[in-house]
Structure 1
Amino acid sequence: MAASCVMQSILVSPVARVNGRTRVNQLAVPASYVPSLRRRNASLRVRSMAEEEQKKQTTTPVTPSRAAPQPQPKSTPSTKVSTKFSDVLAFSGPAPERINGRLAMIGFVAAIAVELAKGQDVFAQISDGGLAWFLGISVVLSLASLIPLFKGVSVESRSEGLMTSDAELWNGRFAMLGLIALALTEYVKGGTLV
């Protein structure tokens, strides 16, 4: 700050004193071009633009409307998801757990239905021609699950009401656990559950 004051005093005055000798300042600039800092009582005022914006917002008059508009429900924007093969089928991607859950839900219901109808356990169902049905249904359901994901449609954008994407995930998880528990119980027991 001291250097700034010295520089301004040199620029303002045409005559400078250096080591007690008077000499003419060659860098002299007329005083009208350089603001003088010699006024000691000059007040410095700093304003924030945020304060000005706040004052403008508070001073605008609000006119009450006769009928308040009804708030419209916001439509859920369709979330863009990556359609790359490696992203869709990644370990934490949208496809693997959903496809496995959907297959487990159908497999669990089919295993219980065949067990009740024919009296066969899960292993007997698979060895009695159930493997071909399992592979066929798995391919069809996997393709049906992957096609919307490759088109960029997110599962969350299509879930409404009671049937949400989270509910489908949890139902699939329980079906996977149920199918494993059914097979393990029948293996330990040595026969059908029912």
Structure 2
Amino acid sequence: MAASSAMQSILSSPLTRVTNRSSVNQFLVPTCFVPHLSRNATMPVRCMAGQNEQKGQEPTPRAPKVSTKFSDLFSFSGPVPERINGRLAMIGFVAALGQEFYTGQDVFAQIANGGIPWFLATSILLSSASLIPLFKGISAESKSDGVMTSDAEMWNGRFAMLGLVALAVTEYVKGGTLI
């Protein structure tokens, strides 16, 4: 407010009505009132973000705030549904191929011969192990670095889902095991 009234008083003063335009800038303020900085003037700028940290130490990266509400975690675009389904598909695809190679049974025979209790036990164990860090506020992206990234896990899970469906469809159409 004070700056606004000061600017109005400068602009309305009789000095601003100078007829010689060479000594007046674009706001009709005489150049004697405007400080002049050369084009290559250096101005020190200091960052105030890491003021509490000691010198010589790297600032600790702050993890983004992650919602721990049940409805946010299990929403359609939340982190839980695709991640858990992808992990289950990865385990299921490898287990189905391994069991098929070992016993010679197709996927449907494996499910019919006692595969449902194993599926339920694996689902409960893997789901609870995946949910505990998310309910504590730890995101999968914060722990991913190098080759083992959260994006790589998502893509591997998607490919495992497609592979498991393709295995079941191929065995159904073929009428027997793939191997």
TM over 0.5: yes
Q: Is the 8 A contact 1:104 1:175 kept in 2?
A: yes
Query: SS where residue 149 of structure 1 aligns?
Result: helix
User: Does 1:77 pair with 2:65?
Assistant: no
Task: With the length of structure 2 as denominator, give the TM-score of the two structures.
Answer: 0.72
Unaligned residue ranges in structure 1 (runs of 5+): 1-33, 62-71
Q: Is the 8 A contact 1:98 1:172 kept in 2?
A: yes
Question: Which consecutive aligned stretches of 4+ in structure 1 deviate over 4 angstroms post-superposition?
Answer: 34-40, 54-57, 72-76
How far did residue 77 of structure 1 move?
3.2
Query: SS where residue 138 of structure 2 aligns?
Result: coil
Alignment correspondent of 2:41? 58
How far, CA to CA, are the matches of 1:38 and 1:143 in structure 2? 74
Greater Rg by CA: 1
Alignment correspondent of 1:144? 129
Q: Is the 8 A contact 2:167 2:178 kept in 1?
A: yes
How far did residue 162 of structure 1 move?
0.3
**1:46/1:124 Cα in 2 relative to 1: closer, same or farther (>3 Å)?**
farther
Calculate the aligned-residue CA RMSD, in Å. Answer: 3.1
Say which structure is richer in strand. 1
Alignment correspondent of 1:180? 165
Alignment correspondent of 1:22? none
How far, CA to CA, are the matches of 1:139 and 1:57 in structure 2? 66
Pairs aligned (count) = 148
Partner amino acid for 1:166? D
Query: SS where residue 41 of structure 2 aligns?
Result: helix
The share of aligned pairs that are identical, in percent, is: 63
Task: With the length of structure 1 as denominator, give the TM-score of the two structures.
Answer: 0.67
Alignment correspondent of 1:116? 101
Partner amino acid for 2:146? G
Residue from 148, 156, 160 that aligns with 1:163: 148
